Amino acid sequence: MNALLILNMQVGAISVSPCYDIEGVVSRISSLAARFRERGDLVVLVKHNGSRENFMPRGSADGELIAELTPGPADLVVEKTVNDAFYRTGLDETLRARGVSEVFVAGCMTEMCVNSTVQSALTKDYLVTVVKDCHTTGDRPRLSSRQIIDFYNWLWGILVPTAGFVRMRNAAEIAAE
């Protein structure tokens, strides 16, 4: 079984700074999630609970998932408190209990939560596919959002995997399988 991990697609995360191609990213993630559900694969929506840093705290409007990515009845919603979606969330145990061996990673913020989760999934011996047109971020000092996205798409593509692989694929390629 496969799992699509959708990170931080929350009102506050995408409004902090204008995220690159947000409409396109949201549309592609939504379509990909529908395809995963059709195939009987798992969709996991990971929400950041920023209560500790007073950013997107649990129960706030900023902490809510964006309307376009409402969880389906069989979807999991996981709450995290740090960048890594696996850290003290039970996500690893849940995925293993369901027989998930490959995770597909998408979401917001490329250089923070998406990167941390990709790296963590690798150290847990998952096969990792980064959906290279389904993650986004905002401009940062000295780097545009496009530069950040391009850099991480390159970096993840050359990581040395632990037990499996790291693949970089577009949403359309994955949906066509």
> Domains in the chain: how many in total?
1
- The reported pLDDT for the residue numbered 44 is 98
Q: How far apart are CA 80 and CA 28, in angstroms?
A: 23
Residues 85-92: contacts with CB under 8 Å, at least 24 apart? 85/5, 85/7, 85/46, 85/113, 85/116, 85/117, 85/120, 86/117, 86/120, 86/121, 86/124, 87/120, 89/46, 91/44, 91/46, 92/124
**Distance (Å, whole) CA 87 – CA 39:** 28
pLDDT of residue 56: 86
* 113 given a catalytic annotation: yes
Q: What is the pTM of this model?
A: 0.96
Q: What are the beta bridge partners of residue 131?
A: 169
At 131-174, the pLDDT tens digits run 999 999 999 999 999 999 999 999 999 998 888 889 999 999 99
Q: Where are the alpha helices (DSSP H) in the chain?
A: 11-15, 22-38, 91-97, 115-123, 145-158, 171-176
Q: Which domain range does residue 6 map to?
A: 2-176
User: Two tokens at 138?
Assistant: 């905002």
**What pLDDT does 15 receive?**
85
Domain of residue 129, CATH code:
3.40.50.850
pLDDT digits (tens, 9 = 90+) for 31-86: 999 999 999 999 999 999 988 888 888 888 889 999 999 999 999 999 999 999 99
Cα–Cα dist 137/145, whole Å: 6
Residue of 19, 108, 113, 134 marked catalytic: 113
Q: What percent of the chain has pLDDT over 90?
A: 84
DSSP letters, 111-162, are IIIIHHHHHHHHHTT-EEEEEEEEEE-B-BTTB-HHHHHHHHHHHHHH---S
Return the pLDDT at 118. 97
